[in-house]
Amino acid sequence: MTDIVIPVKKLSKGKQRLSGLLTPTVRAGLVLAMLEDLLAVVSFIDHGQILVVASDDLVFDVARKFGADILREDRPWGYNSAVNAGFAALGDVENVAVFPADIPLARSREISRLIAPSEMGKPLVRLAPSRDKLGTNGLFLSSRNLIRTGFGPDSYTGHCRSASAMGIDTVFLEAPSLAHDIDTPLDLQEFIQHRQPGLTLEFMESVHCAGLAPASEKKAVV
């Protein structure tokens, strides 16, 4: 089975592009709700160890609800450092996947397709891009050191090039439910309009965000 690493940025620094729309408290609550929705979906499929890498106790509380393991990463080195720390904690494992925590539309069928173990130990990379084909919203490696990972701007192209340079078979997975991450007000508006049941939608409705009013008009989550 495939081990899964889910890095979560420090809550006080997450979703900065929503800062003109949501208060810091609401942004933190949004991150926690999206993480819970993702873990709820993952819990229904076959998987190995789930490792949540973060620095906030509130994140760890959510992870424990679903039996996920936790790794505290307090060093301010960013998302890639969290991924690398997670890989190191797992050890020299075969079949490992990375997902961001902000894909609340994720469906179990598409996650299962991405994390299916490589047959006969064949070197394999699977990639699920973000909607703009710039980010990587799902990454599967048949072994954790197969390619050099690098998340961030244009990471999808970077991962494709890295795999190609190594001559490694790469599967490009069109997965609409994984492609929709939430970073901008437009992302959030489209998510709300999608009306997918889950904690993220319930949370945003609870803070009266259906109309996407400015943050100054919202009530902070207690």
Q: Does position 216 have pLDDT exceeding 50, yes or no?
A: no
pLDDT digits (tens, 9 = 90+) for 1-27: 999 999 999 999 999 999 999 999 999
Mean pLDDT over the full length of the chain? 91
Kindly state the average pLDDT of the residues 33-42.
Answer: 98
Structure tokens at 83: 């991924």
Rg (CA), the chain: 17
pLDDT of 201 reads 95
Q: Among candidates 203, 211, 174, which has minimal Cα distance to 15?
A: 203
pLDDT of 153 reads 84
pLDDT of 182 reads 96
pLDDT digits (tens, 9 = 90+) for 41-60: 999 999 999 999 999 999 99
Structure tokens at 14: 């997450």
Rounded to two decimals, the pTM is 0.91
The DSSP secondary structure of 59-125, one letter per residue, reads HHHHHHHTT-EEEE--SS--HHHHHHHHHHHH-S-EEEEE--S--TT--HHHHHHHHPPPGGG--EE
Give the SS3 label for residue 143: strand
pLDDT of 208 reads 67
pLDDT digits (tens, 9 = 90+) for 103-162: 999 999 999 999 999 887 789 999 999 999 999 999 999 998 899 999 988 999 999 999
Kindly state the average pLDDT of the residues 27-36.
Answer: 98
Which CATH superfamily is 3-208 part of?
Spore Coat Polysaccharide Biosynthesis Protein SpsA; Chain A (3.90.550.10)
Q: So where are the chain's domains?
A: 3-208
pLDDT digits (tens, 9 = 90+) for 75-115: 766 889 999 999 999 998 899 999 999 999 999 999 999 99
Structure tokens at 59: 């994140």
pLDDT of 76 reads 65
Q: Does position 181 have pLDDT exceeding 80, yes or no?
A: yes
- pLDDT band of 209, cuts 50, 70, 90: low
